[in-house]
Amino acid sequence: MMRRILFNLSVWSAVLIVAFPLFWMVVTSLKPQVELWARPPALLPLEPTLEHYLTLLRDTSFLVYFRNSVLLSTATTLLVIGVAALGAYSLVRFRYRGRESLAMLVLFTYLLPSVILILPLYLMMVKLGLANTLVSLVLAYTTFALPYALWLLRSFMAGIPEDLESAALVDGATRLGAFRDVILPQLLPGIISTALFTFILSWNEYLFALVLVNSDATRPLTTGVMNMLISSFNIEWSMLMAASVMMSLPLIIAFSLLQKYLTRGFGAGAVKG
Partner 1 sequence: MMAAMSTGGGEPGSQAESRTSRSPQAMLERRYARLGLLLIAPSIVVFSAVIIYPLLAAIYLSLFELYTPTLEGGFVGLSNYRELLARGEFWVSLRNTLVWTAGTLSLQIVFGIGMALMLHQNVWFRSLARSLILFPYFVSTVVAVLVWRWLFNDLYGILNHLLVEARLIDMPIDYLGAMPNAMISIILVGAWKYFPFVVIAVLARLQTIPDVLYEAARIDGAGPIARFFDVTLPQLREVLLVIVLLRAIWDFKEFDLIFLLTGGGPVISTQTLSLLVYKEAFALNQMGMGAAYGVVMMAIMLVFMIFYIRQARKGDSS
Within positions 23 to 42, which residues make up the interface with partner 1, using CB under 8 A? 24-25, 28, 36-37, 39-41
The type of residue at 241 is M
The type of residue at 264 is R
Q: Does 3 bind partner 1 (CB under 8 A)?
A: no
Q: Which is nearer to partner 1, 19 or 54 (CB)?
A: 19
Alpha carbons 128 and 149: distance in angstroms, whole number: 26
Q: Which of 46, 119, 253, 257 touches partner 1 (CB under 8 A)?
A: 119
211 to 240, contacts with partner 1 by CB under 8 A?
Answer: 211, 221-222, 225-226, 229, 237, 240
Question: Which stretch, 44-52, 58-66, 70-78, 93-101, contacts partner 1 (CB under 8 A)?
Answer: 93-101
Q: Does 159 bind partner 1 (CB under 8 A)?
A: no
Q: Does 72 bind partner 1 (CB under 8 A)?
A: no
Q: x/- binding map, residues 5-24, to partner 1, per CB under 8 A? A: --xx-xxx-xxx-xx-xx-x
Q: Least distance in Å: CB of 139 to partner 1?
A: 6
Q: x/- binding map, residues 73-92, to partner 1, per CB under 8 A? A: ----------xx-xx-xxxx
Q: Does 112 bind partner 1 (CB under 8 A)?
A: yes
165 to 204, contacts with partner 1 by CB under 8 A?
Answer: 165-166, 169-170, 175-176, 200, 203-204
Residues 6+ apart with CB under 8 A from 242: 29, 52, 53, 56
Q: Which is nearer to partner 1, 2 or 271 (CB)?
A: 271
Q: At what angle do helices 237-266 and 184-204 cross, to 10 degrees?
A: 150
Q: Which of 50, 54, 63, 105 touches partner 1 (CB under 8 A)?
A: 105
Q: Which is nearer to partner 1, 216 or 255 (CB)?
A: 255
Alpha helices (H) in 31-133, listed in sequence order:
33-36, 51-59, 62-93, 99-111, 114-127
CB 201 within 8 A of CB 112: no
Query: CA 159 → CA 40, 88, 184, 224, distances in Å?
Result: 55, 12, 13, 40
Query: CA 94 → CA 90, 108, 142, 224, 245, distances in Å?
Result: 5, 21, 24, 44, 45
252 to 271, contacts with partner 1 by CB under 8 A?
Answer: 255, 259, 262-263, 266-267, 270-271
How many CB atoms within 10 Å of residue 73?
Answer: 25
Q: Least distance in Å: CB of 10 to partner 1?
A: 8
Q: Does 206 bind partner 1 (CB under 8 A)?
A: yes
30-67 burial code (b ≥16 CB/10 A, e <16): bbeeebeeeeeeeeebeeeeeebbeebeeebbbebbbe
